Amino acid sequence: MFARNLRRCRHAKGLSQEALAHDAEVDRTYVSALERGVYAATIDMVGKLADVLGVEPDELLRRASRPIRGKR
């Protein structure tokens, strides 16, 4: 979920991986690895990336809402 949300939020802000990495003071390859799910981000890194992206940290961690199916 985190990888998908990170990429979605980055695209919504119109930032490249390089720009996000620069603003978050991390290497671009680290951002790429996070978006591919190669690495897991620490809670501190989630907060830092959320700050740069202008979102609440939970938005990066939130599972996509799915329609609830009625019971039969």
Domains of the chain: 2-61 (1.10.260.40)
User: Whole-angstrom Cα distance, residue 29 to residue 35?
Assistant: 10
pLDDT range class, residue 29, cuts 50, 70, 90: very high
The per-residue pLDDT for 63 is 87
> Among candidates 69, 70, 30, which has minimal Cα distance to 49?
30
Whole-prediction pTM: 0.85
Distance, CA of 33 to CA of 54 (rounded, Å) = 21
CA distance 47 to 56: 8
H-helix segments, 1-72: 2-13, 17-24, 28-36, 43-53, 57-61
